[in-house]
Amino acid sequence: MSYATARRHDTQSEANKLYAEDRAVHEWYRFVLSFPPHLVREYLTRFTITDIQCVLDPFCGTGTVLVECKKQGIGSVGVEGNPMAQYASRVKTDWTPDPDALVEHARGVAQMAWQRLAETGVEDSSFFGAQEAPEQLLSLSPEQDALLLTGSISPLPLHKALVLLNCLESAYDERFYHHERLALAKSLVLSSSNLRFGPEVGVTKPKLDAPVVAPWLEGVQAMARDLRLSEIQEQSRGPARTYTGDARSLSKILQPRTVDLVITSPPYPNEKDYTRTTRLESVLLGFLHKKADLRALKKGLLRSNTRTVYKGDDDDQWVAAHPEIQRIAREIEERRIELNKTSGFERLYGKVTRLYFGGMARHLADLRTVLRPGAHLAYVVGDQASYLRVMIPTGQLLADIARSLGYEVVGIDLWRTRLATATKAQLREEVVVLSWPGYRSVQEG
């Protein structure tokens, strides 16, 4: 049964929502645009995956697939190029902390932070007004500050966050440290920063002051409530492993013929720079220190937007002979010239389209080495029209590429439709379902 059939009574707006019964663990930290756990369950059920099999998410993001597999008692492995997202996946699949001890430790850290703030005349206020700031506020280095979206967080909340981070280091306990840091990543973005999330991440009216310690502590307490749930307490459920790595080079990370099912949602070909979504917490938690770190991160990602294109990129060679991808890239370039669009990024629209699908071809080619014969794959992708309104049928093109590499195309399930921001047209989001027969050698593919 396809997902579209199984969920035919859902409205389009409901299709991507997190169900109330799914909030445990998934809400510890997740991308705004993450696909929902119930979609993962549909394909685990469809392919009758059991606890002796292994599920791979090669673009695992913040761990939706891994957490859901763990809840179902199924082993999983995730690979993610963004170290902050990979960190979230790793922490969300670690259910070992004792919940009562976690809360007790966090309360001690909170008291330490409140005391240190009080000593400098700062309160962790519960309002979003302003208080008189001390003359000496903790701040980021100029190199770190340059990585943030301008105005991401106001000086006073930033000072509080850095004090809290210092307290976490002072009270370091290996059992709780990473869960407490992940709770801070979430509360910073949602409660203490000036960030807003829509189609893109941006900055809203600055909060001159905002609570930091209190919402963080509430986040840790929410984690503890989840850890007390009976289904979470069963520690033998679904082992999960995560790696920071490039999805185009999985054979360097994973053992051959170990994967039974792939469920994933790669970046879509559009102008969303996914590293911006996690920039604040990536800097504050120490995953990014300077521009060279950001450049290295982007070089290990699929080329899905023009801000990740670098001199020497050659993934486009993988689709040089694909007529439809070449036609779409030419149409984008012709439209650019017609509209007299001359910015550096606009000049790259056609190139990044080739690089994106070339990168997906490279990924699918390398993936074959880790798949068991008969493995199935489900890729959640969406049609795009953000490059000068030229339609890119992502699912159809991905299916064509997969077929050329020896995969069998089982079908393309309509998951939902969404309204394009610029054109107001309805765009399809689909699940491309593949199988790997394993009869052909990788060299033949």
What is the structure's pLDDT at 442? 42
pLDDT greater than 70 at residue 133: no
Shared domain check, 161 and 255: no
Assigned domain for 281 exists: no
Shared domain check, 432 and 334: yes
Shared domain check, 207 and 153: yes
For the stretch 335-345, pLDDT in tens is 999 999 999 99
Assigned domain for 19 exists: yes
**Residues with Cβ < 8 Å from 215, sequence gap 6 or more?**
187, 190, 191, 192
Side-chain-facing half-sphere of 433: CA atoms under 13 Å: 16
pLDDT greater than 70 at residue 334: yes
d(CA 119, CA 123): 10
Pairing mode, if any, of strands 75-80 and 240-244? parallel
What is the structure's pLDDT at 443? 42
Let me know: does 27 contact 68? Beta carbons within 8 Å: no
Q: Record the tokens describing residue 270, joined without a space.
A: 């559009």
Assigned domain for 94 exists: no
Mean per-residue pLDDT, 168-194: 97
What is the structure's pLDDT at 104? 98
Final residue belonging to a domain, choices 209, 227, 245: 227
Assigned domain for 442 exists: no
pLDDT greater than 90 at residue 362: yes
For the stretch 392-441, pLDDT in tens is 999 999 999 999 999 999 999 999 988 776 666 789 999 999 999 975 44
Shared domain check, 270 and 385: yes
The better pLDDT of the pair 388, 128 is held by 388
What CATH number has the domain bearing residue 264?
3.40.50.150
For the stretch 185-232, pLDDT in tens is 999 999 999 999 877 789 999 999 999 999 999 999 999 999 999 878
pLDDT greater than 70 at residue 99: yes
What is the structure's pLDDT at 236? 61
pLDDT greater than 60 at residue 1: no
Q: Record the tokens describing residue 115, joined without a space.
A: 């005391």
pLDDT greater than 70 at residue 391: yes
Q: What is the amino acid identity at position 118? A: A
Which of 27-36, 61-70, 111-120, 427-436 bottoms out in mean pLDDT, i.e. has the lowest?
27-36
Print the domain residue range for 241. 3-85+236-274+286-436
pLDDT greater than 90 at residue 3: no
Assigned domain for 90 exists: no
User: Mean of the per-residue pLDDT values for the chain?
Assistant: 91
What is the structure's pLDDT at 2? 31
Shared domain check, 180 and 321: no
Mean per-residue pLDDT, 102-108: 98
Number of domains in the chain: 2
Within 10 Å of residue 184's Cβ, how many Cβ atoms?
A: 26
pLDDT greater than 50 at residue 134: yes
Shared domain check, 259 and 370: yes
Assigned domain for 131 exists: yes
Shared domain check, 240 and 223: no
Shared domain check, 414 and 267: yes
- 326, 332, 335, 337: CA torsion to nearest 10: -90
Assigned domain for 93 exists: no
What is the structure's pLDDT at 136? 84
Percentage of the chain beyond pLDDT 70 is 91
For the stretch 5-37, pLDDT in tens is 334 334 455 566 778 888 999 999 998 777 899
Shared domain check, 67 and 124: no
pLDDT greater than 80 at residue 234: no
Shared domain check, 399 and 260: yes
Shared domain check, 252 and 385: yes
pTM, to two decimals:
0.92
Of 75, 76, 14, 70, residue with least CA distance to 39: 14
- Helix 99-119 vs helix 213-227: crossing angle, to nearest 10: 180
What is the structure's pLDDT at 235? 62
Per-residue confidence band for 138, with pLDDT thresholds at 50, 70 and 90: very high
Assigned domain for 47 exists: yes
What is the structure's pLDDT at 110? 98
What is the structure's pLDDT at 18? 77
Shared domain check, 375 and 253: yes
Mean per-residue pLDDT, 36-62: 96
